[in-house]
Amino acid sequence: MEAWAKKLGATRVIWKGVALYAMTGQLVVDFRPGTPQPVRDAAVEKHGLTIINRSEFLDSYLTQVPSGADLESVANTVMKEPVVEKAFPNIITNPP
């Protein structure tokens, strides 16, 4: 693992067949516009996700998956919720 990734708490993941770095165990969940906060909260908590941060402006949450859970499997399950548009790792786009 790259030293910078370890320092940031990131790991190398394979997402949809592409290798990238993402914050360990974190998913970004985007919701359909207009979804009320209690419904959003219930949709992610139902799948064992912990809410780290809410962005009402972006209609998205930053969440933590349970330790040891497979990010892609959790994301695919969460995306089955009718109020969720997409779920994906918290990707590091500009590594040092």
- Name the residue with tokens 């979804």: 35
pLDDT at res. 42: 96
Cα–Cα distance, 91 to 15 (Å, whole number): 10
**Predicted TM-score (pTM) of this structure:** 0.86
Output phi, psi for 83, to 5 deg: -90, -5
pLDDT in tens, the chain (96 residues): 688 888 888 888 887 888 888 888 999 999 999 999 999 999 999 999 999 999 978 899 999 999 989 888 999 999 999 999 999 999 887 766
